[in-house]
Structure 1
Amino acid sequence: MIRSSRLLPGLLIAAAMVAAPLIAPPPALAADEASGDAIAEKYAALLERDYVYPETGKRYAAALRAGIKAGRYRTLSGEALGSAIDADVNAVAVDGHLRLRIPEGAVSAPAGPGSAAPAPRPVKPPVEQGGWIAPGIAFVRFNVFPNDAAVTAEAAKFMADHADAKAIIFDIRTHNGGGLEQMDVIFPWIFDKPTRLVTMATRASVDAEGGSPIDGIASMRMVKGDAGMVTREHWVTPNGDKRLKGAKIYVLTSGASASAAEHFALTMKSTGRGVLIGAPTAGANHFGRGEDIGGGYGAFIPVGRTYDPKTGKDWEGDGVQPDIAVAPADALVRALTELGVAPAEAKTLSDAYMPKWPMERRRPRAAKPSGG
């Protein structure tokens, strides 16, 4: 049986693992339900049924079923199974969100007798270092946009507390994805008129079954779109406070800025409301929902895409390109100097505000070096 749960639009699997780690297979689970072949078939069925591009979904499913027939997954589990399945899927078409999520127990098990289990992965806080970084300049780092009312309230409070800023720097260099809730309390402060931001199109069959992760969100407006898709536009309605409407906005980006972070970045770039500084983003465009496929395994199934309404182009594979290209580690220095901070002071501040988390694009599982 395939069990599903709605997740945030565009939630990157890495972020999902932080927010809701998987547990090992329950003892009562029949062995054949968690076998490599069973996991691959369930994954194939979901991709065939729901993937944003139906023909590609069929090709993914065919590749996985060919792997089952060839016996490639039969004796595999954990990381080995994930690597084999990911390799076969990526050989068809690379998608920045497709990655088999393996049971946490399979990751943390000791390598052998006498071996110590790896230390638990540190959990990134959703928001870091929000406040005044220099006179008149506010700074905040978002690591994820979660479905969490407390984080939404924190984002709203940051904007209200810094409504007199002459500039705001949003650091999304370590932002791995999420939803729209925090964006929808940030944008009304910085836009001076109702503005169409991006377009989001969901596979019609998924939407008809109530499976769209963006259905019912107040900032989304239904419009006519491509055949086979249900299309909505993301809009911002300004609030009544005009203090930040003319503030300068800078957005710091890296190859780790993924999914909902890229939605944020494209919004700033395509509307001209903000300046992107750093490196191209991760190139993980397709939004979707998480699926439990048994045995502690899970998958994120992309069911839609987000794109620039003016060009019709999305950022899958390519990322959102910065307006000012610099190494991610130097992005804050550049933003501060653009705002008139002396270079030496900007460097000191950048060192104090340097993220502790990776700022590089995630490598496919199959690309990991041996033993990595």
Structure 2
Amino acid sequence: MITLLKKQRLMLVLFTAIIFPFFAQATTSLPPAERQSSLDGVIRVLKEQYVFPETALKVGEFLLQQEQKGALADITTQEQFAAKVGDLIRQHSGDGHLNLALIAEQGGVSHRLKETDPLKNNNFAFEQARILPGNVGYLKLHKFWQTEEAHKVGHAALVFLSHSDHIVIDLRDSGGGSPQLVLHLVSHFVPEGTLLWEVFDRNGKSTEQIRSLAVPDSELLKTKPLYILQSEELVSAGEFFSYTLQQLGRAIVIGETSAGLAHYTGAAQVNDWLFVRIPMYRPVNPITGTNFEGVGVEPNIRVPAEMALYTALRLANKGS
């Protein structure tokens, strides 16, 4: 990935798209020789860039075994290759962030999933900011977008809620997204300079420490009781938000255990029609010494997702 400022270097690894030309009329048929070369390309990318080198080797060996056994012989199109081999590498690695995608379908090579849900696109996925009974501030967010505009919208929403007595942030329907927006939003609730997480490369070398930022007009928010609602569908950046504030003792997480996708993910081109979305860096929480990869964020209060808001309001109103 391309970086411009040292301070932003690793934050951009996950969330700066690498865009290649759009292949509008890509041929979908896939002869056996091209299938084999494409498989070799996927294995090469895994060995060179996947966050866990040993896992990359095991997945590569597994794919070669499948090819040798004839298990991939029924793949005759590019679409079938991306779907079947993508499923195999996810299953054998246990990594839900790892997948294959077609350049023509995505309009380029990018770590970003193509969003069609209006709730994840409209208003940078900030759906609601309102005051609930009992002077409880409520924010509903569907995705963590990587844009300066999303930072502005999020800041405005939190400042609007800052005079409430309690804050509820609803991530039950949220997807992943930008750790830059996670950093920005988390910084509203903790002192400037708080160590939030540290980033390690595939060789176990620490590459950057992520600390909270100075955010104007956020002093009131730093002492408000904070509740975060989550479901088992919550992934990636949304999990980072929950996990970071929970481990700092700054928030009570209510709902279900999240999906467990923690790694910084980039995109690597395999050939002129295929690319891999691939985890490249491992963030580590300074308090736990680990992250939530594969296990999810455990809620402080476990209830079905549909009961999470009710539970948070009961707690807030009881404490008022």
Relative to the length of structure 2, the TM-score reads: 0.79
Give, in angstroms, the shift of residue 236 of structure 1: 1.0
Alignment of 1:157 with 2:156, yes or no, is: yes
Task: State the match for 1:336 in structure 2.
Answer: 313
Structure 1 residues 329 and 104, CA gap change in structure 2 (3 angstroms): farther
The equivalent residue for 1:122 is: 117
Number of aligned residues? 295
Give, in angstroms, the shift of residue 240 of structure 1.
5.5
- For 2:176 and 2:126, the matched residues in 1 are separated by 13
Query: Structure 1 residues 92 and 234 mapped into 2: Cα distance closer, same or farther (>3 Å)?
Result: same
With the length of structure 1 as denominator, give the TM-score of the two structures: 0.69
Q: Distance in 2 between matches of 1:54 and 1:335?
A: 42
Deviation at 1:191, TM superposition (A): 1.4
Note the alpha carbon deviations across 1:266-314, whole angstroms, 9 max, x for none.
Answer: 1111000001000001011121202233454332111122222223222
**Conserved in 2, the CA contact under 8 Å of 1:8 and 1:146?**
no
Query: Is 1:244 the equivalent of 2:226?
Result: no
Quick one: which amino acid aligns to residue 122 of structure 1?
D
Tell me the SS of whatever aligns to 2:180: coil
Q: Residue 166 of structure 1 corresponds to which residue in structure 2?
A: 165
Give the Cα–Cα distance (whole angstroms) in 1 for the partners of residues 207 and 171 of structure 2: 27
Deviates further, 265-274 or 82-91: 82-91
- Given that 1:263 and 1:306 are in contact with CA atoms closer than 8 Å, whether structure 2 keeps it comes out as no
**Once structures 1 and 2 are overlaid, which stretch shifts more, 261-270 or 131-140?**
131-140
User: More deviation in 128-137 or 313-322?
Assistant: 128-137
Contact 2:24 2:104 in 1 (8 A): no
In 2, distance between residues paired with 1:66 and 1:24? 31
Partner of residue 327, structure 1:
304
**Aligned 8 A contact 1:279 1:326 in 2:** yes
Indicate whether 1:287 and 2:286 are aligned: no
Q: Write out aligned runs for 1:203-214 (5 A).
A: 203-204=202-203
Structure 1: runs of 5+ lacking an equivalent:
107-119, 205-227, 342-372
RMSD: 3.3
Higher relative contact order (CA 8 A, sep 6+): 1
Output the CA distance in 2 between the equivalents of 1:157 and 1:295. Answer: 42
5+ long unaligned stretches in structure 2: 4-10, 107-114
Partners of 1:33 and 1:295 within 8 A in 2:
no
The more displaced of 45-54 and 135-144 is 135-144
Picking from 307, 330, 343, the partner of 2:284 is 307
What does residue 350 of structure 1 align with? none
One-letter amino acid of the counterpart of residue 229, structure 1: K
1:269 aligned to 227, 246, 249, which one? 246
Shift of 1:152: 1.5
Match of residue 81 from structure 1 = 81
User: For 1:306-343, what per-residue CA distance to the aligned partner results, in whole angstroms no more than 9, with x for missing partners?
Assistant: 222223222111101000000011111111111118xx
CA contact (8 A) 1:291 1:300 kept: yes
Equivalent residue of 1:189, what SS? Answer: coil
Amino acid at match of 1:171: D
Query: Is the contact between residue 249 and residue 275 of structure 1 (CA under 8 Å) also seen in structure 2?
Result: yes
